[in-house]
Amino acid sequence: MSEIDRTRIELLVASIRDLTPGQFSWLERTVQIFQCQHHYSIVHSDLFDEETLENFGDALRIHHSFSAEPFSKDKFEYVLERVVNMSSERATLAPKGNQGHDIIIDRTRVSLKTQADKGIKEEKIWISKFMELGKGHWGDNPADLVTLLDLFFAHLDNYERILILRALRKAPDWIYELVEIPKPLLMLASSGKLEMKIGSTQFPKPGYCFVSDGDTELYQLYFDGGSERKLQLKNLLKSRCIVHARWEFTIPVV
């Protein structure tokens, strides 16, 4: 143990003596969580090393020591920047409300997504709100889907990489994974099959872009004509993506 580490420990122990009973209880809970069973693994990643893997996993565990809700997108953004910068200043968050990337890592613009739906399927990815489709012209003409698809491609121009944090299993035995969706895979939508659901009661009429590789359906883009007017990415095959890392841990019930 280095002299610097000894000094940090001594300062921390000294500060504990000044905690209130309530503060000490929260600290005990956090330490208890760190002593629980866990397993972190890098599958294939150029973004995470072992130190970053551990730091991100421990941040997940701290979160779940106080919450049974999966990591939200804003927590994902904040913690990813924090753990990447623990070892070197490589990451910068985009301004709030930015319409393109969420973070820059190693001078590369990255879009961040999360998935934690109740019926999550491990081998198929669903992003319920990939992007907003805005209030431009969109009615019941199937040609309108071409315009919406162009908006999708314009959105992709705003970043180089897409990462999604997925909560595959929830309390008490949590499993998270970090998956990268290759941009070339999404660009295949240019040859996808567009279909507007004319019979829908919604207006504007929703529609799909079905994207396949031969006989294998890769994913669908769903142009949701509801009040939010958003684009969903549905049933994306994880086998065509890159799994960066996986975190498994148990959070004991208080």
Strands (E) located in the chain: 38-42, 91-93, 103-105, 108-115, 124-132, 161-169, 173-180, 193-196, 207-213, 216-224, 230-237, 242-250
Helix residue spans in the chain (DSSP H): 3-16, 21-34, 50-64, 73-87, 144-156, 183-187
Closest CA to 65 of 39, 13, 27: 27
What are 14-61's pLDDT values in tens digits? 888 888 989 888 888 888 899 999 999 999 999 999 999 999 999 999
Residue 233 pLDDT > 90: yes
Query: Using an 8 Å Cβ cutoff, are 220 and 210 in contact?
Result: yes
* Domains present along the chain, CATH in parentheses: 36-250 (3.40.600)
pLDDT value of residue 11: 85
Closest CA to 184 of 146, 211, 206, 216: 211
Q: On the CB side of 187, how many CA atoms lie within 13 Å of its CA?
A: 9
Q: What are the phi and psi torsion angles at 46 (to 5°)?
A: -105, 5
Query: Using an 8 Å Cβ cutoff, are 232 and 115 in contact?
Result: no
Q: What is the pTM of this model?
A: 0.93
Closest CA to 100 of 181, 157, 163: 157
Q: Extract the tokens encoding 166.
A: 């997925």
What are 123-162's pLDDT values in tens digits? 999 999 999 998 778 999 999 999 999 999 999 999 999 9
pLDDT band at residue 1 under the 50/70/90 scheme: low
What are 153-167's pLDDT values in tens digits? 999 999 999 999 999
Residue for token pair 């600290």:
27
